[in-house]
Structure 1
């Protein structure tokens, strides 16, 4: 879009269906590279991606012409197919419905990138449910418990 200038940073968070720990450290980097390709092919900027065995965090620089829901739907659909085609797991792999999306200003990016890059260390202290509910509270997002992810406590 000529004459349109923007700076939109979004952290996207979503989980494996039923919060199953199916993302293996053996192939997670291949998955992250594949997802990075999807984001870049949609003309968005991948800034950081990382996660644990049951969920991932993606930080993108988003253009105003992007529909975030469409982008996340494409990431989930294509990466799900990729995982199946590569036979990364013998278990049925699916992403849970829904996602979290949280906006940030540029001054917060350094800390956020470090946070995303250190997911495995972070989750030794706090589980995904605590983390996710913390995001919802921090960003003052209204929610109903019945529409949250299926939690395994």
Structure 2
């Protein structure tokens, strides 16, 4: 889009269906590269990405030429197909419906990138549920608990 300039940074958070620990360390790096390829193919930019066994954090620099919902749909659909086509798991892999999207200013990027890349250490102290609810509260997002991710206790 000529003469369109933007600076939009979004952290996406989405979970594995049933919150099962299905993203294995053996293929995590390849999955992250594949997700980066999906994002790059949509002319968007990945700033940080970490796939935990049961959820994913993704920090993007996005242009206003694509719907965020369409981008997430494509990331989830194509990455699910990639896992299933390669038969990396015994059962079919799916992401849960929905996602969290949280915006940041440029001055916060270093902290958000470090936060995402240190997910394994972070989750030794805090559950995904606590983390996600904290995001919703921090960003003052109204939500209905009936429609949050399926939680495993």
Task: Report the TM-score range of the alignment, normalised by the length of the smaller protein.
Answer: over 0.9
2:32·2:51 contact (CA, 8 Å) conserved in 1? no
Match of 1:135 in 2: 135
In the other structure, the counterpart of 1:107 is 107
Q: State the TM-score, normalizing by the size of structure 1.
A: 0.98
Q: Which residue of 1 aligns with 2:88?
A: 88
1:12–1:99 CA contact under 8 A, matched in 2: yes
3-state secondary structure, aligned to 2:65: coil
Q: For the residues of structure 1 that align with 2:31 and 2:54, how far apart are their CA atoms?
A: 13
Which whole-Å CA distance do the structure 1 matches of 2:124 and 2:9 have between them?
27
- Residue equivalent to 1:55: 55
2:42 matched to which residue of 1?
A: 42
Between stretches 12-21 and 84-93, larger displacement belongs to 84-93
**Could you tell me how far 1:51 is from its partner in structure 2?**
2.8
Which residue is equivalent to 1:16? 16
Task: Classify the secondary structure of the residue corresponding to 1:112.
Answer: helix
Q: Where does the alignment leave 5 or more consecutive residues of structure 2 unmatched?
A: none
Cα deviation code 1:59-104 (max 9, x no counterpart): 1100011100000000000000000011111122110000000000
1:13 alignment partner, SS class:
strand
Give the unaligned 5+ runs of structure 1.
none
In 1, distance between residues paired with 2:75 and 2:81? Answer: 10
Count of aligned pairs: 153
Structure 1 residue 52, shift from structure 2 partner: 1.2
- Structure 1 vs Structure 2 CA RMSD: 0.6
